[in-house]
Amino acid sequence: MRLNSLFLSNFRNFETLNLEFCPHWNIFWGDNGQGKTNLIEALYCLGHGSSYRTNCDEELIKWEEKGLYLKGEGCKRKVFLDYEFVLSRNNSKIRKVNSHRVNLRDSSKWLWMVVFSPDDIWLIKGPPLERRNFLDAKLPLFNPRYPYLKSSYQRILSQRNYLLFFAKKNKRTDGQLESWDEQLIDTGSTIVKIRLEGLRKLNSFFTTIYPKINGKECRASLVYKSSFLKGDFSSLTLEEIKTIFRKELELKRKKEMEQQVTLVGPHRDDFLILRNGVSLRPFGSQGEQRMAALSLRLAELELVKSKEEDYPLSLLDDIAPELDPARQRLLLNLIKSQGQVFLTATNLSLFKNNVSEETYFYQVKANNVRRQV
């Protein structure tokens, strides 16, 4: 996969840009606060139809402007495609591929990208929601309907929580809770089954990548932590998961009625990042956690390639300062042959001698971007 060009209008701090890209390495450099990260975000919005930094779409539009527009030519499975992204303050956002409007949730129309950021450490240190979101973002690779399943589950969960609140207040549910239970079980169990498959595949890459990045021999693994499945549940069928889910809901019924909230289901799940059997979240050093976060992103690259038959775009947002020189060089060597790279930096000293000869350098300054020839 690759992106050949980007036309940008009224995105964040930029008024208008028209850029051509190298199929290998593209480096945006300049002082902090000039908009380098905004460029990375624009690329991601074009490829996926959403931002990885904010859930508030209006933040993407340049101050005092009515809307933004992105357009670029990409290549996926050796087919050239035109991508467009339109967002206004008064209307819903629009994404087009070859001038045809496409559903934002349709992952088959995404130009897959993997973002490396200093904030990735929260994949390890942060709450379960961070890891659930990370895993869920990859699961359309295994089931294109996954975004719809997740949206449906959230709707069912909200309705069920409302009924639990109603039941405590009015001492009755009018039989509705049981109906929503079945919907929760059906959709939630399917989500868990897809997550188990996705994490198993991600783990197959993580186990070999983490020791390389860490620089020491060790056993690394990702383990799913379920709110209702116990023991070794990796080989359970969908029907077996549903049966266990149903029994756990029955056991938790009284407690749920008291707390007015659903206590079991994929919305309560997590996955553990283990080094020699020990969870890195509470017991890993800052350095070990950073290496684990970086390894997750590199495993993500391999995961996408395994399903899409090509590497996604790598978007590296100023991560070099987070790594020591040895690991900086190791990272650059690892991704040299893994598709197109877009990278931000405050200086070029590290990259002059460590990147491909086929590299475009862009200086980002005063709300403008200029390629250096």
pLDDT in tens, 192-207: 999 999 999 999 999 9
pLDDT at res. 172: 61
Across residues 52-73, what is the average pLDDT? 94
Q: What is the CATH number of domain 124-308?
A: 1.20.1050.90
Angle between helices 176-214 and 128-136 (to 10 degrees): 90
Question: What mean pLDDT do residues 210-218 have?
Answer: 89
> Mean pLDDT in the chain?
92
Percent with pLDDT over 90 in the chain: 77
- Can you tell me the distance from the alpha carbon of 126 to that of 342, in angstroms, rounded to the nearest whole number? 26
The pLDDT of residue 157 is 97
Strand ranges across the sheet with 113-116: 113-116, 313-317, 341-345, 25-29, 359-365, 368-372
Beta carbons within 10 angstroms of residue 207's beta carbon: 17
- More confident position, 172 or 19: 19
> Minimum mean pLDDT among 83-87, 266-270, 344-348: which range?
344-348
The answer to whether 280 and 226 have CB atoms below 8 angstroms apart is no
The reply to whether 1-112+312-373 and 124-308 are identical in fold is no
Is pLDDT above 90 for 322? no
pLDDT of residue 352: 67
* Statement: residue 354 has pLDDT above 70: no
**Distance of alpha carbon 150 from alpha carbon 142, whole angstroms:** 14
At residue 355 the predicted structure's pLDDT band, cuts being 50, 70 and 90, is low
Residue boundaries of the structural domains of the chain: 1-112+312-373, 124-308
Tell me the fold of 1-112+312-373.
Rossmann fold (3.40.50)
Tens digit of pLDDT for each residue in 105-146?
Answer: 898 899 999 999 999 999 999 999 999 999 999 999 999 999
Structure-model confidence comparison of residues 339 and 184, the more confident one: 184
- pLDDT at residue number 356: 63
pLDDT in tens, 261-283: 999 999 999 999 999 999 999 99
* Model pLDDT, residue 336: 78
Dihedral (C-alpha) 40, 46, 47, 50: value to the nearest 10 degrees? 90
